[in-house]
Structure 1
């Protein structure tokens, strides 16, 4: 299968981590969002929403939207499980995942920031303040949702909520959000990054990041 991904995309990070955790072989196809490759005609034929990630299965089936992709992967490759089978546990885990995917991410993605700058004249500092405000609001909610006595969000192994959280924390650090008020989230981040499969999905481990480091050396 092929995963169309942007190295800094938090939604792509989630899916890369899940594929790695489940030891699913895939070819990574980079889509440069900054260069606008997501709007190319060929790519929009795959993903009319012009976003990432896009997962193309071996039979040619195209899947979009990271949460839907993660749900598919967990159903088709249930080990290790990312979404609990118990209905109550599932609801709690999905609520945390959706806090990131539905409340934080939509108002902080690249196209929203571009509109703030181009249509409303937001300065880089104002864009940063916007990002940090909405990430902080979501993180405050998550801090109350997560368990207090587990390494990961709700248990001893990573689930879909953890993958959403660790990716969003990467973005929060990029924008300079103070994470001191969120000890549970920092605990989850540390636990996730101690898992080799998740660490391998981290943006800094992608070829594009390594190319940038070499160019600036």
Structure 2
């Protein structure tokens, strides 16, 4: 059956299709032996309008991703390495204050850089490569080695995902679902999806939360 063009769908259906499409990228890679993590990027205060702030965050995420690729593979930009490049699927995110009064939330925003806006999503790491430790151990508690002094990036952390990858991925898109983010705010790294064959494919309707099942990693050196 031919997928319905996104422009002909409602916003909720568009979100369902895009979220599911990106989710299938991660699920397919994990089925091939890749390793999933919840990735969180927090930033120092960034000036300007929201779209300018998001652009700065995207640039910093690209820089950090590029540095990571160089640690995972020697000659990371070589064509033979491109299919094995770590994948990041990031979306804007805001802290959720449950059971907090409006006045308290407003006071909290005054103390948190960028009103709490940060990037959050999946990092899927390939098997093999030069990075022998898990991503969370490599980054450490704050990812300081990826956060140059005086730069915009405050911290970069990773948490292994051991179950319910689909739910975690969908939850990362909650700002998009709540109308606090746009489709252009979503960042897939590396950007060159055509070269890496990682363009989101249409999701199953409806997008469900598959249970994460690990398989034996396939070695690639």
TM-score (norm: length of structure 2): 0.28
Q: Which has the higher contact order (CA 8 A, sep 6+)?
A: 2
TM-score (norm: length of structure 1): 0.28
